[in-house]
Structure 1
Amino acid sequence: MPNDIMPVSVSFLALVGLVGAVAAAQSPNFWFSFGDSYTQTGFLPNETLPTPGNPFGNPPYPGFTATGGPNWLDFDTTVNNNSLILTYNYAFGGATIDSNLVEPFEPTVLSVTDQVNQFLDGVASKPASTPWTSENSLFSIWIGINDLGNSYFLSNNESAFDTVLLNAEFALVQKLSDVGARNFLFLNVPPTDRSPLLLAESAEDQALLKANILDFNTQLVEFAQAFKRNNTGVSTWIWDSNTAFNTILDDPTAFGFIDATSFGTGPANVFWAEGVAEALSGTVWA
């Protein structure tokens, strides 16, 4: 297993400790997050910004999440850490890396490209309201789910297209590094080939998406390693969501879920929300 991948045996609490460890001697620490519905809380960068008494700024905790309750970012900001974290969560439901490469489900969706530009046009300059530094900040990106889900069936060479996608993502990562970002957390693509949405498709489609996810995740490690080599002072971590999800889906009742296929937004013991997005319940990660 590559050194940059965190094995599933390491608890998510330990992962969150990385956030606090970025600058334990300083308070507060800053978390700048980019992604899709698995991460979204509905933050608007031109409205109320995070403060010690309101670490997400807007909207009020837990925000507008895909499941209607706290998601992983909520838990990790407010519970699973030993430091004060102010979280600027630019993630947007339905996002792809670049809408010019993979169109989102509707044109109003902000891609990760759009999200990073919001950051660059806003608090990247380290204003008095957001005095982040290279040492007290973490930048996380969880993306690729919609990119692969909306494209795996369109090409005879998905591996080449995965390279195109990751080139676009790491061009954005480089822009973040250029303004002072040094600590990067990447989360790979979970096994959405096992989601109820894909289980309703053919076995061929499921196998095709599974292979595409494996290739994307493998290349993600390679891109992260190359980025670290080429940028002095940068630290990178990858959380292997794919392995973690598969561990749970292989034995769902051991983690408090009724099975591996039920979905919905109400019951806390249902793994999948709206057919694809996972609950990331506190019972799993706390």
Structure 2
Amino acid sequence: MQFLAIALLAASAVVVADTENEGHHRDSGWVKDFKNLVAFGDSYTDESRLAYFYSHNGSAPPPGLLLPENNFTSGGGITWDRWVSNYTGAKLYDYAVSGAVCDNNIIYRYLAGIHGPFPDVVYEVNAFKADVAYINASTGTNTLYTDRTAENTVYSMWIGTNDLGQGAFITDSEVNNSTIPDYIDCIYDRFDSIYAAGGRYFVLMNTAPLQLSPLYGLPEDGGLSTSRYWPTKTSTGGNATEISYKMKEYTQLVNTVFDYRTPYELLVAKRYPVLDAPANVTGPYWNCDAAGTCTGSDVGLDHYLWYDDLHPSEKTDEAIAHEFVSVVAGTSKFATYW
């Protein structure tokens, strides 16, 4: 279970370090003074942001508002990024939105409860930039980002589950003749915006091995033929085995591109100039039929890799957080440093 949980991270790291310390920064820690984690992504990372949209009739949080910690998440408890904050003391700024894709102009998924599409990572990065520019009218200062420097802040990006999955590329539901390379381009374009706003330490987290999830897994390994996330998965002629192999192809393709494109963008294209330094691993804990009737397992959540058909459990998020801390410390064997 620990191995599979870490496989959900398997991070590639875009490292931009102070040139004076370039030769030895890894020995003394990749980020020596880790005070802030700014997280972007989807339901694997979201704590409170989609809930805010729901409770405010589709309106976004205003600039300058730090959303509250929330343990009622898609994974059934504390998210990996909150675990990182708890372990390290770093302040968490969570811009992730459950259901997000990188760009709604590539994958468009409408959510009736907020009267529009799921907010995408384009929105998330723009929200971050608005928060960075925010000035409190009473104090004349930014009261949200009170201690953000190039040296003490890490920016994470974990996006792809909804881009590649049902209602997206695997079901040929993309818009504007978009392709998987367009989705990958979107990620690096967002890093451009973060870099322009002062970001220097980025962690690009690989797409999760979705072919191992109950939603996309092989039938003989516990893969489901129908799900509340995909009620018509096989009833309209879909083949569960073919879907699983196709998802494996997509996730491995994207992760391979990340492996090679990241050092290219940093070292060759100079896109980011160097400046500043009994476990259950197949079935879900929360079982829901296609009609949305759900029951939890009699075995505790701590025994499960997957919370439901698609989302990692709280225990998995805790394992991911442990490894993320190692990534930031420069000691992770699951990360590639450039």
Residue of structure 2 aligned with 1:34, choices 33, 40, 48: 40
TM-aligned CA distance change 1:87 to 1:141, over 3 Å: same
Residues 57-206 of structure 1: pairs in structure 2 closer than 5 A: 57-59=66-68, 61-79=69-87, 81=88, 84-104=89-109, 106=111, 107-123=116-132, 128-129=142-143, 130=145, 131-149=147-165, 150-154=168-172, 161-198=179-216, 199=223, 200=225, 201-206=239-244
CA distance in structure 2 between the partners assigned to 1:169 and 1:234 by the alignment: 21
Q: Which structure 1 segments of 5+ residues have no match? A: 1-7, 50-56, 237-252
Residue 215 (structure 1) aligns with: 253
Deviations 1:219-246 (A, max 9, x none): 122232233221222699xxxxxxxxxx
Q: Larger Rg: 1 or 2? A: 2
Aligned CA RMSD, in angstroms, stands at 3.1
- TM-score by length of structure 2 reads 0.62
- What displacement does 1:104 show? 2.6
TM-superposed deviation, 1:48: 7.4
CA-to-aligned-CA distance 1:193-249 (integer Å, 9 cap, x gap): 22222222521111111101110111122232233221222699xxxxxxxxxxxxx
Q: Which amino acid aligns with 2:86?
A: T
TM-score w.r.t. the length of structure 1 is 0.72
Matches of 2:319 and 2:189, distance apart in 1: 33
Q: Using the alignment, how far apart are the partners of 1:224 and 1:205 within structure 2?
A: 28
Tell me the equivalent position of 2:293. Answer: none
Q: Which has the higher contact order (CA 8 A, sep 6+)?
A: 2
Aligned pairs, number: 236
Shift of 1:78: 0.7
What per-residue deviation string (whole Å, max 9, x for no partner) do you get for residues 71-103 of structure 1? 211111012x2xx31111000001000011011
After TM superposition, where is structure 1 displaced by more than 6 Å over at least 4 residues in a row?
Answer: none
The percentage of aligned residue pairs carrying the same residue is 23
Shift of 1:180: 1.1
Distance 1:128 1:283, change over 3 A: closer
* Consecutive unaligned residues in structure 2, runs of 5 or more: 1-5, 14-25, 53-60, 136-140, 217-222, 226-238, 288-295, 323-338
What is the alpha-carbon distance in structure 2 between the residues aligned to residue 220 and residue 161 of structure 1? Answer: 16
